[in-house]
Amino acid sequence: MVTRSHGRLTRRIRALAGFLALGGAWGAGASAREQDLPSGASLVAKHLAAIGGADLVRATTSLRATGVTELPAQNIRGTFEVLAGRPAKAILRLELGGIGKAESGYNGTVGWMLDPMVGPSIVTGPQLDEMRNDAHFDAVLHPPDLVKSITTIARVEFDGRPAFKTHVVFVSGQTRDQFFDAERGYLLGFSGDSQTPMGVVPTTVTLRDYKAFGAMTHPARLIQAAMGVEQHFIFETYEYNTLKPEVFDPPAIIRAIMKTDAAPAQPVEPWR
């Protein structure tokens, strides 16, 4: 039971961390099939225009978002905080009623998890590769160092909206399907395999209720679905360009593990 709960909590942390940069990750355009489909590059450009424009994205150096998280079927509610900074730094902190505090972070080199069920750990292997991709701050600008290609493959319906389905191939080899609103241009969601301590798990993320938070537009609700469990993240505040570099330093317990290559018998400082 602990292992399954840990895997679910890890996926919840990672799903939101994957969105925290400025709207998910997608990349350089590729030609659409021989159908009447827009190119991947044009869909990315339309999304950029809808959220505030490429120049505004480039002028942003960091962001902090806060809100409420819910697991409706389990009647669990809590709060979250997301921090993101250039070039690829990200932290997500959760506090869930009945479960406790959890954290996922990547400082550009080291990835870590603080899980109230199994304790602290350093992320390695494919999970670290995925965390690195997700933390890329300029993901919305589809830089070639992150994404190899994006191809429009079909016109579909996603979350009740007409959409274009695209297939994204990352430089790392990771792949993901992304769905863009055919009328409004917004990214409606994405799906793909997520790397977890339990193995590879299919995951779908839905983005709803886009609205202005200051100069930029973001979805006010993110819904993650994996293994039959849904978790909602309701965004309440966004702050831009306020974070200092040191906020992305790993916690003391993680620094201790890095030094000893093994978890100490007692935490260096409380993190729960």
The pLDDT score that the predictor gives to residue 261 is: 61
Residue 194 has a pLDDT of 81
Could you tell me if 83 and 243 are in contact, meaning their C-beta atoms sit under 8 angstroms apart? yes
Please give the pLDDT value at position 35: 60
Task: Report the pLDDT value the prediction gives residue 9, as an integer from 0 to 100.
Answer: 47
- pTM (2 d.p.): 0.83
Q: What is the pLDDT of residue 101?
A: 94
Q: What is the predicted pLDDT for the residue at 195?
A: 72
Q: Which stretches of the chain drop beneath a pLDDT of 70?
A: 1-35, 197-198, 261-272
Hey, what are 115's tokens?
A: 């899980």
Q: What is the pLDDT of residue 12?
A: 47
Residues 59-101 pLDDT 10s: 999 999 999 999 999 999 999 999 999 999 999 999 998 889 9
